[in-house]
Amino acid sequence: MATGRSHRPATRGRGIPEATVARLPLYLRALTALSERSVPTVSSEELAAAAGVNSAKLRKDFSYLGSYGTRGVGYDVEYLVYQISRELGLTQDWPVVIVGIGNLGAALANYGGFASRGFRVAALLDADASLAGRLVAGLPVRHIDELESIVEDNQVSIGVIATPAGAAQEVTDRLVAAGVTSILNFAPTVLSVPDGVDVRKVDLSIELQILAFHEQRKAGEDRQEPDGDVPAVMPA
């Protein structure tokens, strides 16, 4: 669902390709499920199937982490959870601000997965003065005028934008000027950011349009003749 645009090189600090970085959360999710079931080890084939990738790609990805598993045994689940969490920066707490506390912003604020994955919602911001002080997910909504001081006081480096499209670029500019270097954008617009700032975009409407395309194609296939040939058009 998320699409990314990075203004950094195609490889990260330890030479890990961006495509591999994008798959690490998938591996971590699958490994966490195994850990919760007290599964001690997992083969590359089993983990690849759980993560939705092929095993050769998984082994290549893990080679960038320096993890090669043990022949006949597989990978140590707990160690891989730690190793991937460390590589993703999840062994420390990341303060996050959410800007735009409408229906979507409020839903994001109430999402319990942030804290369990190393992200702490430091503040909720909105331009609507009537929302100031209202509690959402246990946090008071604060006015957008406080953005800069909140970012500085909480050492925020990640911002989540859930504003209308028309306000998103201005919010982005203020976040970047305040020191935020990573943005998760839910607004239906393309953001312009300087080098050194990473943007990940989540556009639900685009994803639904892609699904609509596939549904239309499947419906067209269902209307074909049983042998797969499209019926000839009869002359008038």
What is the side-by-side order of every strand in the sheet holding 182-185?
2-5, 198-202, 182-185, 158-161, 94-99, 119-126, 139-143, 135-136
In angstroms, rounded to a whole number, what is the distance separating the alpha carbons of residues 217 and 223?
10
2 near 198, Cβ under 8 Å? no
DSSP helix/strand/coil, 61:
helix
Annotated binding site for NAD(+): 100-105
Backbone angles phi, psi at 198, to 5 degrees: -100, 135
Cite the annotated binding site by residue number: 100-105
Are 101 and 136 within 8 A, CB to CB?
A: yes
